[in-house]
């Protein structure tokens, strides 16, 4: 008996083959459209993060496209015995699906979110705005764009159908499918490893693409006792995003009054030569100053926020300067190079003007980044110490930093971020410190720990311990005086509170 292939079976085979090539073509288009997500987000800073980004981009978008082919187009190939109908319906489905992907990409580019039930209100609001703003000509233009896009899909579908026999002869199915499988497996394997180690350059990409649910260490490795759950949960709780692109500063409007009778002077000097007039400054406490550039040092003092936020603060005016000036006080800054942002430049003065404003008592808030000679010339003036509440940050020969003052300070140690809230409170502003700074007011008693950042690590100081937490949640404890690493376990509750405080100004994209 001779078995022959029926016309229907032959048609189904051709349609299935055509469908695979049609899906592959749309995979390439979808991957190209999805590049918008990549360009809308900061690029990973490590080679491993870039490898994961590329493999996840190709495999995830390819998987979404192929999954759409499996559930929408493949059944048509078996159920509808008409090639023209299958091609037309498939072209419409592909055009709509890729248009939705493009809309989602634009939504992510503008708001950092994807299409979902939770963003329905945002989409509805945008749609209402578009209906109000767009004329019928603009809507007609968008309709023509979609018609062109649909026509492209129809042309693609017909072109592939005419070449089905030729394409069947090409042995490309195995290498193409192997490439996508390798990308898929490697991306998920990298994510499992990254999740177990809380490797931020990879973990931070979890929400980059729509409908992305990468495999995690908690669900896979813990099942086979390859992961210490307690240690993992502790590190996960202490994990933080060390790249801030947007900031809420201040967290809410500040309402407070200041006194024109009060005068505050801050002098910062990193030269370890002797401070001549330190005997006249009765308060002396240890001061923590992170090793940083001059621009970061100035921003620390003026904004009261650590280096974690400095890039996002480029176009902001420090509350420390803006609020007193808006309320009519005279504010002056001196620095050889004032690098704390364009918004601080209007307050900049040359040395002679700055010194004259302090000695003549016309300046209410004076902040100087000075050398030792300039420092001593002001502190040795008895009228300056008499009229001003003075804060002096000075480095010692031992490399340690100290904060001196002629007023009482209620702390065992301080950081650069503490000076902005301290000075504002000295001027009479009683606005909540947590609304504009991660520091504390040293003129009032308060919390007995400080939090800052250094080299992309969170640093928490309490008593004689310095705790360093990396972005993946790993913590180490050191003795403040000796720098020796201690075997003590970090206080998770304190670290969680400190990181929450540190992250409070971060705004979501």
CA distance 400 to 454: 16
- Please, which pLDDT band fits residue 2 given cuts at 50, 70 and 90? very low
Res 53 pLDDT > 90: yes
Distance of CA 47 to the CA centre of its chain: 19
Strands (E), 48-155: none
pLDDT in tens, 449-465: 888 887 777 888 888 88
Between 398 and 96, the more confident residue is 96
In the three-class reduction of DSSP (H, G, I as helix; E, B as strand; rest coil), residue 479 is classed as: strand
Average pLDDT over residues 290-299: 79
pLDDT tens-place string over residues 203-246: 878 888 888 888 776 665 656 555 556 556 555 655 666 666 67
For 70-94, what is the mean pLDDT?
A: 88
Tell me how far the alpha carbon of residue 496 is from its chain's centroid: 18
Residue spans per domain, the chain: 7-227, 264-446
pLDDT recorded at residue 315: 82
pLDDT at 31 (0 to 100): 94
Which residue(s) pair with 467 in the sheet? Answer: 460, 477
Question: What is the phi/psi pair of residue 485, to 5°?
Answer: -70, 135
Burial-class residue 27 by CB neighbours within 10 Å (0-12, 13-18, 19+). Answer: buried
Superfamily of domain 264-446 in CATH is Alkaline Phosphatase, subunit A (3.40.720.10)
- pLDDT recorded at residue 423: 94
- pLDDT tens, residue by residue, 309-321: 888 888 888 999 9
Instruction: Tokens for 178, please give them.
Output: 């192997």
Cα distances (angstroms) measured from residue 485 to each of 300, 475, 476, 478: 27, 11, 7, 4
Respond yes or no on whether the N-terminal peptide bond of residue 250 is cis (omega within 30° of 0): yes
Residue 396 in tokens: 């010692």
d(CA 88, CA 235): 53
Q: What is the per-residue DSSP string for 316-328?
A: PPPHHHHHHHHTT
Q: Is the pLDDT of residue 498 over 70?
A: yes
């Amino acid at each position: 008996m001779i078995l022959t292939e029926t016309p229907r079976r032959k048609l189904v085979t051709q349609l299935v083959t055509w469908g695979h090539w049609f899906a592959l073509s749309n995979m390439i288009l979808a991957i190209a459209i999805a590049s918008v997500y990549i360009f809308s987000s900061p690029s990973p800073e490590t080679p491993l993060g870039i490898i994961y980004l590329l493999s996840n981009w190709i495999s995830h978008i390819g998987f979404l496209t192929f999954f759409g082919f499996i559930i929408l187009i493949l059944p048509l190939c078996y159920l509808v015995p008409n090639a023209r109908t299958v091609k037309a319906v498939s072209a419409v489905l592909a055009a709509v699906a890729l248009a939705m992907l493009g809309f989602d990409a634009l939504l992510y580019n503008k708001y950092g979110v994807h299409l979902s039930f939770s963003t329905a209100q945002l989409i509805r609001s945008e749609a209402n705005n578009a209906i109000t703003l767009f004329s019928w000509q603009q809507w007609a233009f968008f309709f023509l764009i979609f018609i062109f896009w649909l026509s492209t899909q129809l042309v693609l579908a017909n072109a592939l159908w005419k070449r089905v026999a030729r394409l069947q002869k090409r042995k490309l199915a195995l290498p193409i499918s192997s490439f996508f499988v390798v990308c898929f497996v490697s991306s998920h394997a990298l994510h499992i490893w990254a999740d177990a180690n809380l490797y931020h350059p990879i973990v931070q990409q979890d929400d980059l693409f729509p409908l992305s649910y990468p495999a995690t260490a908690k669900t896979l490795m813990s099942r086979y006792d390859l992961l210490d759950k307690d240690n993992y949960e502790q590190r996960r709780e202490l994990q933080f995003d060390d790249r801030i692109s947007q900031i809420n500063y201040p967290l809410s409007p500040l309402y407070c009054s200041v006194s024109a009778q009060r005068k505050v002077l801050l002098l910062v000097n990193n030269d370890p030569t002797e401070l001549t007039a330190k005997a006249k400054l009765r308060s002396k406490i240890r001061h923590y100053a992170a090793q940083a550039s001059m621009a970061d040092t100035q921003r620390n003092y003026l904004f009261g926020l650590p280096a974690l936020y400095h890039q996002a603060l480029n176009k902001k005016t420090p509350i420390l300067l803006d609020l007193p000036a808006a309320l009519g006080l005279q504010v002056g800054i001196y620095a050889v190079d004032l690098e704390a942002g364009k918004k601080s430049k209007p307050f900049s003065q040359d040395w002679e003007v700055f010194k004259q404003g302090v000695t003549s008592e016309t300046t209410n808030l004076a902040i100087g980044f000075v050398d030792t000679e300039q420092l001593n010339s002001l502190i040795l003036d008895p009228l300056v110490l008499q009229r001003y509440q003075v804060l002096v940050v000075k480095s010692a020969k031992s490399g340690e930093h100290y904060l001196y003052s002629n007023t009482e300070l209620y702390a065992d140690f301080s950081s650069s971020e503490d000076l902005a809230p301290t000075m504002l409170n000295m001027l009479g502003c009683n606005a909540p410190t947590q609304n504009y700074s991660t520091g504390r007011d040293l003129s009032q008693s308060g919390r007995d720990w400080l939090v800052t950042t250094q080299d992309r690590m969170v640093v928490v100081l309490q008593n004689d311990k310095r705790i360093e937490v990396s972005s993946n949640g790993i913590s180490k404890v050191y003795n403040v005086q000796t720098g020796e690493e201690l075997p003590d376990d970090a206080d998770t509750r304190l670290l969680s509170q400190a990181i929450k405080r540190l992250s409070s100004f971060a705004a979501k994209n």
